[in-house]
Amino acid sequence: MITYPADNEMKQLAADELSLEGRPEAFAGALMNSSADLVADARQGDHEAFRLIFERYSRPVISFIYDMVSDRALAEELTQETFVRAYRNLSTMREETKLSTWLFGIARNVARESIRARVRDHAHVDLEDKSVLDLSGSDIAPVDQFLNKELNGVIERALAALDENKRLVFTLKVFQQRTYEEIAEITGYSIPKLKTDLHRARSEMRRRIGPYLAATSRSQT
């Protein structure tokens, strides 16, 4: 072992801010571009590493935020805020946390704050909104004429009609393919709760897009 002059304050500070156990290869080479390496480099102030993190995760993050807020311009703005917060708090990211999970956690907070602010200003989409629910009947086009744009619109409106918690777990599971453990970490929910929310969200979505699904299956057969 090695002996050093006592400096308890500095040791405590470093121990609090950084825990790098188990990743001795983090600085092994500049060419290694795993998320852990990028985080380690970005923590050192390497802007290029942080830009690579942005390139890698900007698309899933903006998609997730868009699903939460249903507004293109706002989603861009909130994605920017998410990455600025991530940069600011890189040093606080726990070693065992996956970068994507951590980023989704920040994005979720940013989106939630924005939704709260918007709810204060505008009435949010009513669950019983006619425009959302009235998707059945003769208005449905056959699937061969059914443009992707229309399908996107239907899903988007159905998603917006879910309440926030259900929308959150549904988006993370169905669109972002996160595991239950990751969703629990991102949202802070217990796994039984998120399973329940996910099941209810699926049921509601099914109810809203069901007619289109039926049309799809009729068309395929």
Minimum Å gap between C-beta 119 and other proteins is 22
Minimum Å gap between C-beta 134 and other proteins is 19
Which chain residues interact with other proteins by CB under 8 A?
1-5, 7, 10-11, 13-15, 17-21, 24, 27, 40, 43-45, 47, 50-51, 54, 58-59, 62-63, 66-67, 72, 75-76, 79-80, 83-84, 87-88, 91, 148, 151-152, 155-156, 173-175, 179-180, 195, 198-199, 202, 205-206, 209, 212-213, 216-217
Closest CB to other proteins among 75 and 168? 75
Tokens of 104: 């989704």
Full 3-state SS string of 147-164: CHHHHHHHHHHHHHHCCH
132 neighbors 160 (Cβ within 8 angstroms)? yes
Minimum Å gap between C-beta 208 and other proteins is 11
Closest CB to other proteins among 66 and 108? 66
Residue ranges of alpha helices (H) inside the chain are 8-17, 35-43, 47-69, 72-88, 99-121, 130-133, 148-161, 164-170, 180-187, 191-220
Minimum Å gap between C-beta 111 and other proteins is 14
CA 56 to chain centre: 14
Residue labelled with tokens 């809203």: 208
